[in-house]
Structure 1
Amino acid sequence: METFFTKSDKIQHIIKSFNLTKSLFVSSIIIGEAHTGKKTLAQYLFPDTPLVSGNNQKEVEEALENNDELIITNFEKLSNQSSLDFSNKRIIATADYMGNPELIDDIFAFIYAMPSLQERPEDINYLKELFIKEASSTLMIEENTFESDDIPLNLTKNTKSLKRSIYIHLMKHSIDAQDIEGILYHYLLKHLDGNDGYREHLGLYEKPLIEAGLKKFGSQLQLSQVLGINRNTLRKKIHEHNID
């Protein structure tokens, strides 16, 4: 059974509205950006209801013939929405965008707007902690080896980018020198080309080395001594790599 956690007032309103109309044979649609939890919410509210994807018009039509209650995901991808017959059926659809507003308004009795993750700051911390535990378990990392507050969160693609940003951050903090060599090897194997490859890709090593050194020591003079290069050379490389 799907679970769905939220402290968002907007989503709580959607849940309450669905609960009030659960006994009615009406059609409803949840519209919002991708990876906001629309499908999970629909399955949480209707755990025993069959689900079909709008990626396949024929499968949707067959499911409608055989079921009085149905969840249709990716509704916007159906090639012929107007041909569907929702009479005397309870349909719960999800879509990433509205499509034809007049048609949507004609087909569905209830239209709900799913807020993006950026509009649900109260949910972000819960999902962050959930993904941290998942990533720590998957990557076999002890949670006390990193500061969760230091993780830069990417919300541009909602839960997808949030989860990815957490995994990447934890990977960065768990890999060793051999892992880094392997990453660089596969990157260079794919991208090494041209007539000036050495100079072109040297920044992969120099830039993070200088950036980390400046953050750690806070002084160009001290960093030049640690790196064993003179200060003018360090300044030149800082300028070459556009380091602030």
Structure 2
Amino acid sequence: MNVLAIDTATEACSVAASIGGVWAERFVELGRGHTDALMPMIHAVMAELEADLGVLDCIAVGRGPGAFTGVRIGVACVQGLAHGLNVPVVPVSNLAAMAWEAASEQGAWVAVAIDARAGGVYFGAYAVTPSALPECVVAERVCPPDAVPALDQRSVLTAGTGWSRHPEVLGAAVGCEQVDSGVRLPSARAIAELALLGAAQLPASELEPVYLRDQVVHSSARKA
């Protein structure tokens, strides 16, 4: 299967493609400017593979959680491309993609925390085994770092910028030994790999961003 993947949900902007089993990818950290950078990166990746977008069987995207604007940019770009090419889309959790990148070779539990600003983190925990989609064992959420649930493991791998920003608070919350995987931000390569592993495909019209912050807004409204 030929797949293109993009991710703009965090400060990273990344693109990866696998055409006939040959890979090309681009990854850059940007404060802003994802919109301007994205299409040139897509064209560069496809040019490196000497392939046209018309050979794609699907397009995968980091569907969030992440920054509102960043998630929206990626989803809108993929919807437009997929509509034009008449191919399905593959929405992939950014947290699951990071867990996969951290532990796809050896397998492990991975606690992923992305800095969500305003003192919070996007958090999820996954059981990762080689050659299988990551299993979400702690539901994705946005919360203060001290509200992350404890994990019933002797040790876990960690991934994400939340761990470098709140290491002591997150460490105390999960309540077990942590081993840094070195994965800080999601990558389009990991998203593409999960698409190739069998992550669910959808028509482009059904693609929706996942912000998680909606949960906080709705919860606050109910309390009011």
Q: State the TM-score, normalized to the length of structure 2.
A: 0.26
Greater percentage in strand: 2
Structure whose CA Rg is larger? 1
The structure with higher relative contact order (CA 8 Å, sep 6+) is: 2
Q: State the TM-score, normalized to the length of structure 1.
A: 0.24
